[in-house]
Amino acid sequence: MNKETKEQIKKLKKEKKYGDIYLKYGSKEYVKNTPRKIKKHEIKKLFSEGKYIDIYNKYGEEQYNKILVKAMYKEIKDNTNILKAVLWRIKENMIAGTKNALVVATGVLTLAPPSFAIMGAEYMKEEKEKNSIVYEKEIEKYNEKISKYAEKVKSMNLNDVQTYMKVMDDMWGSIKGYGEPKKDIKGYLELDLATEDGYGVCRNMANDIAKKLNAINPEYNARTMIVQMDENGNYTIADIKRNFVVNDEKKEENRENEEEQQDDEEEIPFESVFGNHLVTLVDSPEDNLILVLDPTNPGIGIYKDGKITMLNSDKKNGISLQPRRYVSSFMTKGGLENISDVVKDYVQSFEKSNLTFDQIEEKYGLEAQNKSLNYIRQANEKDEFVNSLKVENQQENAEKNNITNEYENKNKEISQEENERWNKQ
């Protein structure tokens, strides 16, 4: 696009002649330069009039597909009920827009509704298979890194709680921070946290922690579960420093997505159905418990009697996590054919634990979490000190070797000179 064309579009935009921009320069420039409120109003009007082709011509295929889905959803809802309509949305593999993570007053982070997107099992399966080929090298590199990390952790001979806390602490210490992910590769969400420059939200973090824990000890059977986290109540994170990534472009994009989703709230109760947060589950056969790790808001809880109780949450005014079992089946297990795994967790949660609640709190509660972190950090400091001594010793030995070599070389030179002098005589 030349400078003159840019100036003409800028002039029409200033004069609010958005229709002229569309007629003269096409849909791309129209969408780019027209205020969101005007576009939103026009789409609603065209939708109510059934002018779907006009939407396609003016706003493109993506917006057209959204409108068709919305129309079908409304038809199913009007002629049957909302549950069938919601299930249809899942079955048809539709992806909902992602909102930026919310930071509530208590400092607890969620993925924000519906944020995980509504994806059908077949869609997820196909995407994972495709991405396993496209990102083969990145996956191999990540797995190699995790394997080395697991060996290092295993060599420390930590107990389970210390291992959980170390992995969460190390995750936060080895990435840029919390923020909307760049890659967000379906089936391999953990890849966003593969480098020091990486960052992500709960879906990336929970998957990363699960991968690491399974590499350390397969008996943990680490897996993820979608939950609904409320925004009220008190929650104290473990003593882990968190950092946050600010992305202004993403914030603006997510703000628009949020406003669009708010328009649909009366029609589609996404949040209450699909959840807004992802956590990691691990098995504790010793205690006959399913533990819940929240790496985003570092803490430990239990999945008991079909409910999640976070041990970092205030007993009187705590933040609750409600499991979304069937959604977890679609999103994290690969579809309804594997729903038995999710149901198994639910059934197991009703089994009697080998510990009383007070014993659970003593072993896994906030105090135990922070004690574990202190132990790990002291062990790390000791390890760093020992390594520094090794380096000093290596340097000292190298210096000694250099002196010895110089001495030996000097002796050789002297011996050679004496031999030459002797031969002359």
Q: Which residue has the tokens 């030995």?
A: 397
- Both 253 and 334 in a single domain? yes
**Is a pLDDT exceeding 50 seen at residue 93?**
no
User: How many domains are there within the chain?
Assistant: 2
Amino acid at 99: K
Query: What is the token pair recorded at 25?
Result: 């320069």
Residue 214 has what pLDDT?
Answer: 96
What is the C-alpha separation between 166 and 96, in angstroms, rounded?
34
Whether 245 maps to a domain, the answer reads: yes
Of the pLDDT bands very low, low, confident and very high (cuts 50, 70, 90), residue 329 is low
Q: Give 119 or 59, the one with higher predicted confidence.
A: 59
Do residue 55 and residue 169 come from a single domain?
no
CA–CA separation, 160 and 211 (whole Å):
16
pLDDT band at 323 (very low <50, low <70, confident <90, very high): confident
Kindly tell me if the per-residue pLDDT of 252 is higher than 80.
no
Q: Is 380 within a domain?
A: no
Same domain, 290 and 349: yes
Say yes or no: 280 and 370 in one domain: yes
Position 234 pLDDT exceeds 90:
no
Please report whether residue 76 resides in a domain. Answer: no
Torsion of CA 314, 222, 362, 294, to 10 degrees: -20
Q: What is the dihedral of CA 29, 31, 35, 36, to 10 degrees?
A: -160
Structure token pair of residue 54: 């006009």
Domain shared by 178 and 298, yes or no: yes
Q: Are 28 and 168 members of one domain?
A: no
Residue 112: predicted pLDDT:
42
Convert 81-98 to b/e letters by CB count within 10 Å (16 or more is b). eeeebbebbbeebbebeb
Residue 104 pLDDT: 33
The answer to whether residue 402 sits within a structural domain is no
Do 12 and 112 lie in a common domain? no
239 inside domain: yes
Q: Is residue 400 part of a domain?
A: no
pLDDT-derived band of residue 325, with 50, 70 and 90 as boundaries? low
The residue from 344, 359, 374 where one domain ends is: 374
User: Which segment, 20-24, 65-69, 167-171, is predicted with the most confidence on average?
Assistant: 167-171
Give the pLDDT confidence of 71-81 residue by residue, as tens digits: 766 666 666 66
Which pLDDT score, from 0 to 100, does residue 113 have?
Answer: 37
Query: Is residue 98 classed as helix, strand or coil in its secondary structure?
Result: coil
103 three-class SS: strand
Q: Does residue 13 sit in the same domain as residue 111? A: no
Which of 353, 374, 395 is at the close of a domain?
A: 374
Report residue 374's pLDDT band, with 50, 70 and 90 as the boundaries.
very high
Residues 56, 155, single domain; the answer is no
DSSP result, 32-87 = HHS-HHHHHHHHHHHHHTT-HHHHHHHH-HHHHHHHHHHHHHHHHHHHS-HHHHHH
Distance (Å, whole) CA 181 – CA 144:
22
- Could you tell me which residue, 110 or 114, shows the higher pLDDT? 110
Contact 223, 213 (CB under 8 A): no
Domain shared by 282 and 332, yes or no:
yes
Clarify whether residues 176 and 29 are in a common domain: no
Which one, of 296, 89, 81, lies nearest residue 178 by Cα?
296
Within-domain flag for 387: no
Is the pLDDT confidence value at 365 over 90? yes
Domain that holds residue 26: 3-68
Residues 55 and 106 occupy one common structural domain: no
